[in-house]
Amino acid sequence: MLIARTLPDLRAACTRLRRHAETLALVPTMGALHAGHRSLVARAVSSGAATVASIFVNPLQFGPNEDLTRYPRDEPGDLAALKAEGCALAWLPSVATMYPIGEATAVMVRGPAERWEGEVRPGHFLGVATVCAKLFGQVRPDRAYFGEKDWQQVQVVKRMVADLLLPLEIVGVETVREEDGLALSSRNRFLSAEERAVAPGLVRALRSVAERVGFGEPAQAPLAEARAALEAAGFAVDYVALVEGTTLLPLDRDAPGARLIAAAKLGSVRLIDNIGIG
């Protein structure tokens, strides 16, 4: 596996990969890789693409009171995991490379970025869209793979790619879960034993709403009951909502492409999750 830490090295490595591979895939990550990230790399590699994974903890997508400084970092473990999945190139840029002195440009997505995570974490999607635009410009992949655990993020990035006419395809990959249903996340390691036992309640709440809404019941009561059950279990709920899957606009009942989304804090750890209805 090649490793690049500077733009000239990245350029040289991508040119080398392009000589042998028709398709280049990018898996953007912030490191602390788990089986969910590995599944993205595996999907990209199995598509036949030469796969580049970026590791960059992007300061621009963290708010002032968020967990940038304690975001887990494990470069040796990450590089070993990428290599094991058949990744061809790891791209590890510095903050100075990504945000050059005098930088004055950011990418602001409206539409799917406006609600939910966009409301609770102001500036988050500006940070995500900006760093993804930069990564796409640097690596110039044909496809980029994103985990559906961050469902809204996938829709925001797809919207940006469509609006900026960027020549790549965005592929969403299904969430990887623990046996008890908890969606894998780099932040799960911060859950205490008690919180870890409660955490699968988030997806269970979504599943119980999905069942009722899927049978045609209006969403309002099941959503309110799910929120109450989560709060009773100790979650501080940011939102539990039924939305149209692409625009993230709220729905009051099931419809094609509907998605149930939720975000809630357990102690200091913020969990997000989503499922389809079908």
Smallest separation, CB 61 to ligand PAF (Å)? 6
Helix (H, G, I), strand (E, B) or coil at 167: coil
Q: What is the four-CA torsion angle of 70, 74, 75, 76, rounded to 10 degrees?
A: 160
Measured from the CB atom, the residue of 42 and 128 that comes closer to ligand PAF is: 128
Question: Is 132 or 206 the residue whose CB approaches ligand PAF more closely?
Answer: 132
Single out the catalytic residue among 20, 34, 37, 124.
Answer: 37
CA 94/CA 79 separation, integer angstroms: 16
Return the residue of 30, 113, 261, 269 that touches ligand PAF, per CB under 6 A: 30
Cβ proximity to ligand PAF, 74 vs 217, nearer residue:
74
Please, what is the angle between helix 35-46 and helix 75-84, to 10°? Answer: 40
C-beta separation of 156 from 41 below 8 A: no
**CA separation for the pair 11, 7 (Å, rounded):** 6
| Per CB under 6 A, 274 contacts ligand PAF | no
Q: What would you measure as the largest C-alpha separation in the chain, in angstroms?
A: 57
DSSP 234: T
- Contacts of the segment 65-70: beta carbons below 8 A, 24+ positions apart: 66/121, 67/187, 70/190
Q: In the window 113-132, what residues touch ligand PAF (CB under 6 A)?
A: 128, 131-132
Best CA proximity match to 206, nearest among 186, 180, 192, 225? 225
Q: How far is the CB of 127 from ligand PAF (least distance, A)?
A: 7
| 28 is an interface residue for ligand PAF by CB under 6 A | yes
Q: How far is the CB of 161 from ligand PAF (least distance, A)?
A: 13
String marking each residue 58-87 x if it binds ligand PAF according to CB under 6 A: x--x--------------------------
Q: CA-CA distance, 51 to 83, in Å (whole number)? A: 11
Residue 91: what are its φ and ψ, rounded to 5°? -110, 115
20 is catalytic: no
Stretch that binds ligand PAF, among 24-32, 187-195, 208-216, 219-227 (CB under 6 A): 24-32
Shortest spacing between CB 191 and ligand PAF, in angstroms: 18
- Residue 112 to residue 158: CA distance in whole angstroms: 10
Q: In whole angstroms, how close is the CB of 30 to ligand PAF at the nearest point?
A: 4
Confirm or reject binding of residue 175 to ligand PAF (CB under 6 A): no
Q: Is 155 in the site for ligand PAF (CB under 6 A)?
A: no
User: Which among 9-17, 23-31, 81-89, 192-200 is the span making contact with ligand PAF, rule CB under 6 A?
Assistant: 23-31
If one asks whether residue 138 binds ligand PAF (CB under 6 A), the answer comes out as: no
Point out which residues bind ligand PAF (CB under 6 A).
Answer: 28-30, 58, 61, 128, 131-132, 150, 153
The residues assigned a catalytic role are 37
